[in-house]
Chain A
Amino acid sequence: MPTVVLSSGSGALHLTGGVTEFEVEATTFRRLVLELEQRFPGLGKQVEEGMAVAIDGEIFQDAYSAQLRPGSEIVLIPKIGGG
């Protein structure tokens, strides 16, 4: 079961009641988003619209199809742009 870490700078801690780390039953990022929304209403939407996800160190801006493995490090972080 992958562990999700909500980056302390994600601006979403109010949606989880301050919980920063939790396990989620999901094998794809899409399933993860749905699960997050169910468990913490508003978080799935925020992840979809304004956040990026780092899976095992690789940052995905949009990652529906990204596969999650048991033990994957999944970190929700602010979305990144550039100049």
Chain B
Amino acid sequence: MNYIDSSLKVVGTRPLRPDGVDKVTGRALYSADTRAAGMLWGKILRSPHAHARIVKIDTSKAEAMAGVYAVCSAADFPDIPSEEAFVGEGPMNFRDLAQNVMARGKVLYEGHAVAAVAASTPAVADAALAAIEVTYDVLPYVIDVEDAMAADAPVLHDDMFTAGVDPKPTKASNIAKVVKFKKGDVEAGFAAADVIIEDSYTTQPVHQAYIEPHACLATCAADGQVTIHASSQGHFMIRAYTAKLLGMDMSNIRVNPAEIGGGFGGKTLIYIEPVAVKLSQKSGRPVKIQMSREDVFRGTGPTSGASVTVKLGAKKDGTIVAAQTVLKFQAGAFAGSPINPGCMCGFALYDIENIDVLGYDVVSNRPKVAAYRAPGAPIASFAVESLIDDLASKLGMDPLTLRQKNMAKNGTKTHYGPTHQNIGFEQVLAAVQTHPHWKSALPAGQGRGLACGFWFNIGGESTATVHINEDGSVTVATGSPDIGGSRASMGMMVAEVLGVDISMVKATIADTASIGFTHLTGGSRVTFATGMAATQAAEKVVDELKKRAAMIWEIQPDAVEWRDGKAFPAGSNAGGFEPLDLAELALKAARTGGPVNAEVSVNAQGAGAGFGAHICDVSVDKETGHVKIERYTAIQDVGKAIHPSYVEGQIQGGAAQGIGWALSEEYIYSNKGQMDNPGFLDYRCPVASDLPMIEAVLVEVPNPRHPFGVRGVGEVPIVPPMAAVANAIKGATGLRMPDLPMTPPKIRAAFDAAG
């Protein structure tokens, strides 16, 4: 059933968030809060070298220590063969995943895990790690992407030959893959252009910076059954990858999802769970591993840093007739950066006849990158949206008008192939045009920037169960970890279908043994896909409730109608019965056929693409180079906001993370290839005092493929901020800042260079 044009009573309202009280009172149980009788503390020894051959690992002294119950290294894990797979939220090779969890033969970045211990206390575990003797043959290393692509760069993998080039290379390289996208004839496009503009940009790897470090508790029972408590973006993902890396059957692993303290893509992979399981198997005791913040920075994946060039050609009237970009993405120590979506997103917002995109996936001696909101898109859009702003200046056009002239609409054919349909970019830009922020006069000394963003959004496999409890209250269980308010949105969609107040519906997240497979929470898919499953499950429950009422009234089920949470006879011909509500039907459930519930599994397709536009005002201190965000407005097509407060929160959070990416976040490496700033004091994320209230504006262009019109919202808001801030700085100072982060020293240097 489709509810898009229905009069909605629950969907679109703002009930109190179901996870709020537990989180603000500290009662929410994160994975670090879990304990078990007889539990040991697992700790991981990490490489101090950026690149080295492991000559020998001697664990004998650690194993002999009192209080040490197990020690493991790569020799304790199966040597997984190369097997390409699309795992987590991106391409991955299972051999690489295994070797990222525990180094085998070589360490490829500072922080790479080489061994682990399980001990009675954290202090004993630390002492045991110190007693492990690793002999390294230190090798030359390379950190930055351009350096890694050089012909004389140290090669990380002897068996890596660049894919996507013809003929196939015979010399190993750090360039894992080359990808190309073409539309039309870009050279002819540039030849026809009146104005051509080109620039180069760099972005730094930035971490997802979730508040909660990775943690897990693994228990291996005597019969070999394994239970894992962990927070992640997908407990089915943890089960599948742990089973794969340990050579176990999935049915022997049960994963309980803990409350999650942020993921943003960074918890779509595993790092510690197979290690905890292995230590538990060896010790016969439950083992808990909890990363420190330093571990998180040194051992887990940020998104790529990149080097990007963009060239645009346009007619005098502003029509962009040619666009070209080259993107070089760091993948970290193993292949698999988000180069494909990076190549696909930057120009997806515009209707341009001739496009040429070239992308490189490049390994270097840094932690393997992980997904981060809209992987790849923010990098490409920083460059493209910066250059579009400069093109507007060169043409003497308003930057909004230039974008409106070239914007993608329904029917625009993208450079990666598909034709856009049911998109709301036009409506987003119209909302920019009429917004008071855009129309307001700019205070003296400030600059204003505009930038836009796009993300595909995805659907996929989800399962949801709706139970009518004995008292008529309702439980909805799903397999989707709640990282952005999905318990609220699931409960609200179910309440809407059942016609009851949201207070009657409680949403929960079921473990891997208690509900059908559900793909992880990512790609902005949960409210769309899992919401589709929950809606259909609720509809099945309504059908069943109508049958039960029909049985009680001794009429046909199609003579019963359901509205406002009650069964009614459908007209006077059906009989003059008093309506039956959920509590009354639940009370008679045993007599009418047993418990009332329904489970629905879907593989949801038709996720509608998302578009956003951000307006940013800044002031810049010319003496210090400090940038202050004075006003920020984020406008986005969200399809239909089930719970607008959560949607606004998603948008505000994405914008805040993007502002950090723009202004302050970066990895700083020593001359030994070691990270110098693995903590939040030195890796500077924005805090509340750094930012104004970010105004989120919800544009609702319903996605016709979802019963309530939902389209994903979590990815798009991190795409525009870097260019929005950069364009605002340009407006305030006249300086184009092409290198992120745009820190005070860089801005000061740019002032100095400009004279």
Contacts and interface: CB of A to CB of B under 8 A. Distances in A.
Interface of A: 5, 7-9, 11, 14, 49-50, 54, 56-63, 66, 73, 75-83
Contact of B418 (A62, A63, A73, A83): A73
Contacts of B183: 8
B374 A49 contact: no
Interface stretch (B464-472, B520-528, B680-688): B520-528
B438 interface: no
A82 B181 contact: no
Contact of A82 (B177, B375, B417, B419): B375
Interface of B: 84-86, 88-91, 163-164, 166, 177, 179-183, 208, 264-266, 268, 303, 338, 340-341, 343-344, 357, 359, 371-375, 416-421, 455-460, 522-525, 603, 605-607, 705, 712, 714-715
Given A7-B417, A14-B166, A77-B417, 5 more contacts: A9-B344, A57-B419, A73-B419, A77-B344, A81-B371
Contacts of A83: 89, 208, 264-266, 268, 303, 371-375, 522-523, 714-715
A79 B416 CA distance: 12
Chain B interface secondary structure, helix, strand, loop or mixed?
A: loop
A60 B373 CA distance: 20
A57 B163 CA distance: 28
27 contacts: A7-B181, A7-B417, A8-B180, A9-B343, A14-B166, A50-B84, A50-B86, A54-B419, A56-B419, A59-B605, A59-B607, A63-B605, A76-B417, A77-B416, A78-B179, A78-B416, A79-B86, A81-B268, A81-B341, A82-B373, A82-B456, A82-B712, A82-B715, A83-B264, A83-B374, A83-B522, A83-B523
Contact of B459 (A5, A49, A61): A61
Contacts, number: 126
B605 A66 contact: yes
Contacts of A60: 605
Contacts of B90: 81
Contacts of B607: 59
A80 B603 CA distance: 15
B423 to A, nearest CB: 9
A56 to B, nearest CB: 7
Nearest to B374: A83
A76 B498 CA distance: 40
Contacts of B459: 61
Contact of B163 (A11, A75, A78, A79): A11
A73 B419 CA distance: 8
B458 A8 contact: no
Contacts of A75: 416-418
Contacts of B417: 5, 7, 54, 75-77
Contacts of B166: 14
Contacts of A77: 344, 416-418
Contacts of A54: 417-419
Nearest to A7: B417
B86 A81 contact: yes
B421 A57 contact: yes
Given A9-B179, A9-B340, A9-B344, A82 B418 contact: no
Nearest to A46: B84
Contact of A58 (B164, B372, B606): B606
A81 B89 contact: yes
Contacts of A66: 605
A60 B456 CA distance: 11
A69 B488 CA distance: 39
Contacts of B268: 81, 83
Given A14-B166, A50-B86, A80 B523 contact: yes
Contacts of A58: 418, 421, 605-606, 705
A66 B460 CA distance: 14
Nearest to B371: A83
The 3 closest A-B pairs by CB, nearest first: A82-B523, A83-B265, A75-B417
A57 B608 CA distance: 10
Question: Which of B86, B88, B166, B264 has the most chain A CB atoms closer than 10 A to its own CB?
Answer: B86
A63 B460 CA distance: 10
A57 B180 contact: no
B327 to A, nearest CB: 11
B350 to A, nearest CB: 16
B91 A82 contact: no
Given A63-B605, A66-B605, A82 B421 contact: no
A67 to B, nearest CB: 12
A81 B715 CA distance: 11
A59 B180 contact: no
Contact of B88 (A78, A80, A81): A81
A19 B306 CA distance: 31
B456 A11 contact: no
Contact of B91 (A8, A9, A50): A50
Given A49-B86, A82-B715, A11 B421 contact: no
B454 to A, nearest CB: 12
A82 B88 contact: no
A81 B523 contact: yes
A38 to B, nearest CB: 23
A61 B265 contact: no
Nearest to B356: A8
A11 B179 contact: yes
Contacts of A5: 417
Contacts of A62: 460, 603, 605
A49 B523 CA distance: 18
Nearest to B411: A57
Contacts of A80: 340-341, 456, 458, 523
Nearest to B358: A9
A66 B222 CA distance: 46
Contacts of A56: 419, 421
Contacts of B455: 82
A14 B525 CA distance: 32
Question: Which of A54, A62, A83 has the most chain B CB atoms closer than 10 A to its own CB?
Answer: A83
B361 to A, nearest CB: 11
Contacts of A7: 181, 416-417
Contacts of B421: 56-58
A49 B86 CA distance: 8
Contacts of A49: 84-86
B419 A8 contact: no
A9 B180 contact: yes
A78 B606 CA distance: 16
A3 B421 CA distance: 18
Contacts of B177: 11
Question: Which of A11, A66, A73, A78 has the most chain B CB atoms closer than 10 A to its own CB?
Answer: A78
A60 B705 CA distance: 12
A50 B336 CA distance: 13
Given A11-B164, A59-B607, A81 B419 contact: no
